[in-house]
Amino acid sequence: MKQQTLILIKPDGLVKSLTGNILTRLSETKLEIAAAKMVRVTPELAREHYKHLQDKPFFNELIEYLQGKLHSRRKVLAMVYWGENAIQKVRELAGATNPEEAEPTSIRGAYGRITSKGVYENVIHASSNESEAEREIKLWFEPDEIILDAYPVKTITIEKLSKKVWS
Ligand code: UDP
Ligand code: MG
């Protein structure tokens, strides 16, 4: 079954210069990159992304982590990967949520750590199932930023739209 999945290289992954390494690991899956961009994460985006964890004691710390406030690196690399069984393949490569429990050869097992405040800095995000993938991809990307018809779209007309163009 062909699937799409959202992958984020979180701020700790960027600070540790792991981008190339992670992309190489991901290429082992033979999945295709359907979208990629650098994103400066707002508090609203971080909260929406992790809204399933809003009642957890580590929620505020987690939101700061995703924004890059713990790493002075206020960006993440957001990507959509597409292909056969994409969600499970990337989750397996990422490893368990807790870096101490993750397979040592997985991305999180190799590069993750637990902070003194108890947050799992685990380098990478990967969607956990199809409905989460859809919710997350629609949250992080506009339809035109993805090189495939990810989900159904509609066209709307926006009047008096102002946007930046090259000057
Ligand atoms: N997290 C944490 N402590 C926990 C559970 C989660 O710090 O006990 C963080 C960790 O960075 C994780 C993120 O919250 O990646 C999202 O948690 P989720 O349970 O969705 O795990 P994931 O899908 O990322 O494996
Ligand atoms: Mg999750």
Residue type, 65: Y
**Residues within 6 Å of ligand 1 by CB:** 50, 53, 58, 62, 97, 119-120, 122, 125, 128
Instruction: Please tell me what DSSP assigns to residue 54.
Output: T
- DSSP 3-state helix, strand, coil percentages of the chain (rounded to 5)? 35, 20, 45
Q: Token digits for 93?
A: 């490569």
pLDDT digits (tens, 9 = 90+) for 87-114: 999 999 999 999 999 999 999 999 999 9
- Residue carrying the six token digits 């406030």: 69
pLDDT score at 59: 96
pLDDT digits (tens, 9 = 90+) for 118-136: 999 999 999 999 999 999 9
Q: Which residues are catalytic?
A: 125
DSSP secondary structure, 30-43, as one string: TPEEEEEEEE---H
CA-to-CA distance for 130 and 109, rounded, in angstroms? 24
Q: Which domains are seen in the chain, by residue range? A: 2-145 (3.30.70.141)
pLDDT digits (tens, 9 = 90+) for 7-28: 999 999 999 999 999 999 999 9
